[in-house]
A and B are shown apart, each in its own frame.
Chain A
Amino acid sequence: MCANLVSVVMQVIGGVPVSPETASGETSGNMYLGNFCLLVNTFAMACYYILAKKLVVKYSPIQIAAWAYIVAASLMGFSSLIFTSHTDWHFPHSLFAPLLYWILICSVGGYFLVTWAMKHLPASQVAAFQCLQPFLGSLLAFLVLHEKLSWWDCGAIGVVAGLLLVSLDSKDLQITKAMNRLQLLLQSKAPSAMLGRSISRDKM
């Protein structure tokens, strides 16, 4: 089983789409490294969703998002010392507004909402909505930039149909609710406190 899984994972790394710009022999090594980095990115994001699902039962979503961002910001600050030089810190004035948007809407609002939704939905369902990004991107391009649609955009039907299948899976949602209740009961101190009082009363 493990050997099969390793072989399939290696096929994934090797089978990732080749960009025409980086298809030369000199950059093929960098490309495989890039493919591996992107695979690690997707795996790390999945681990984030799973771990956040475990923590959100105990703590409030805003606390989890705050603590995660504090750790991530510290690590990113350390990385920026390694990967950047002093010339890279001349921040463009034109990017202050997008930065503000990313801070308030995507980071603060976005991660809080995702963590809040994780409290009530299965982690896989929250992650499945990631597939909305290419759909919304194409929709924006069509409506705002008046770009022409291609036959590949019929994938939007798959995205919407897939998300409807996942969202309307009532059995999965019932199991998630039941697991949330069970975890809250297990973490409840009231039964042990009542048990302690009854033991002390018996001793008296």
Chain B
Amino acid sequence: MHGIEKSNRNKDNIAHAVGPKLWLCQLAVALTQAGMVVGSVYLKGSLEWVDESKKEVFHPIVFAFAREASAAPILYALSVAYGGYSVPQRRDIVRVASLGAFMFTAHIMYIIGIELSGVIVASCMQPAIPVFTVLMGILLQMETANPQKLSGISLAVAGAICMVRLNEGSSGKISNSAAQFLFSIVRLGIRVCKPCVCGHAGDWWCSSVP
């Protein structure tokens, strides 16, 4: 009887895995990105009011630490309220620690990168995130390399790089090097995905890709 109840509970979990409407998930992610854009503008606007005469200093690492150290207990309190006190299983501790390490690495490398290379370069690099994600997903066999997804990501990345204020008058060099960068990223993607895509799309794709 106990086994049958567990089986029914697992069926509920499986039904839930089919989940809410997909447009809700996509809207949630889009709103998150919108929130981050508004946050960046808000922060940049507030930097003008930093009073250096009172020895006030904006240090990005201090800001990042304050943000993460404040958000962590709030998230943990919400997780306890939602699902009770829990810790990851012993075999998942390395994965969870790696997840946090990747988040930390992303944040601190972004801060250092902006300091050394500038905002324009950092903005140009961000659209590479979905490219790396899809490449790793395909290499780890978590996702398929279907042409629609790859075309969509390539189009979105190309559009995003175009939009990063590449004004012809002030930075022709940036326009050329950004195009070279994009070409390199897409070439890397094609070289990795070509064996996977050929299995789906057949010879016409393989013959058209260099």
Residues of A within 8 A of B (CB): 1, 4-5, 8-9, 11-12, 15-23, 30-31, 33-35, 37-55, 58-60, 62-77, 79-80, 83-84, 87-95, 97-99, 101-114, 116-117, 119-138, 140, 150, 152-167, 169, 171-173, 175-177, 179-181, 184-185, 188-191, 193-194, 197
- B76 contacts which chain A residues (CB < 8 A)? 66, 69-70
**CB of B209 within 8 Å of the partner chain:** no
Partner of B181, one of A12, A70, A117: A12
Q: How far is the CA of A173 from the CA of B118 in the complex (A)?
A: 37
Complex: A60 Cα to B81 Cα, angstroms:
12
CB-CB under 8 A from A163, the residues of chain B are 152, 156
B160-A103 in contact (CB<8A): no
The answer to whether A137 touches B117, judged by C-beta atoms less than 8 angstroms apart, is: no
Question: Does residue B42 face the partner (Cβ distance < 8 Å to A)?
Answer: yes
List B96-143 residues whose CB lies under 8 Å from chain A.
96-110, 112-130, 132-137, 140, 142-143
* Minimum CB distance partner of B9 in chain A: A190
In B132-165, the 8 Å CB interface with A consists of: 132-137, 140, 142-144, 146, 148-149, 151-165
Q: Once the chains bind, are A136 and B187 in contact (CB under 8 Å)?
A: no
CB distance from B179 to the nearest CB of A (A): 9
Please name all residues of chain B whose beta carbon is closer than 8 Å to the beta carbon of A110 when the two chains form the complex: 32, 35-36
Once the chains bind, are B99 and A55 in contact (CB under 8 Å)? yes
- Residue among A95, A103, A133, A191 making CB contact with B50, cutoff 8 Å: A95
**Would A92 and B75 be within 8 Å (CB), given that A47-B136, A50-B137, A68-B96 are in contact?**
no
Give every chain A residue within 8 A of B106 (Cβ-Cβ): 41, 44-45, 48
Q: Is the CB of A157 within 8 A of B97?
A: no
Q: Which residues of A contact B208 (CB under 8 A)?
A: none
Pick the contact of B159: A111, A130, A157, A169 (CB < 8 A): A157
The answer to whether A91 and B62 touch across the interface, beta carbons within 8 angstroms, is: yes
What's the Cα separation between A165 and B150 when bound, in Å?
Answer: 9
Check A35–B49 contact: CB distance below 8 A.
no
Residues of chain A within 8 A of B154, CB atoms compared: 162
Does B88 touch A at the CB level, under 8 Å?
yes
| B side interface size, CB within 8 A | 144
Q: What residues of A have a CB within 8 angstroms of the CB of B149 in the complex?
A: 122, 124-125, 165-166, 169, 172
Are A114 and B164 neighbours in the complex by a CB distance under 8 Å? Answer: no
Instruction: Tell yes or no: B201 within 8 A of A by CB.
Output: no
| CA gap between A42 and B113 in the complex, in Å | 11
Contact A128 B28 (CB under 8 A): no
**B residues less than 8 Å from A49 (CB atoms):** 129, 133
Cβ contact of A127, chosen from B130, B165, B173, cutoff 8 A: B130
Do A43 and B132 contact each other (CB < 8 Å), given the known contacts A12-B188, A77-B65, A137-B37? yes
Q: A73-B68, A84-B61 are in contact. Are A106 and B132 (CB under 8 A)?
A: no
Q: Is the beta-carbon distance between A165 and B121 smaller than 8 angstroms?
A: no
Give a binary string over B183-210; 1 marks a CB under 8 Å from any A CB, 0 the rest.
1110110011000000000000000000
User: Is the pair A165, B155 in contact by a Cβ cutoff of 8 Å?
Assistant: yes
A18 in contact with B173 (CB, 8 Å): yes
Instruction: Determine how close the nearest CB of chain A comes to the CB of B68; give it in whole angstroms.
Output: 4
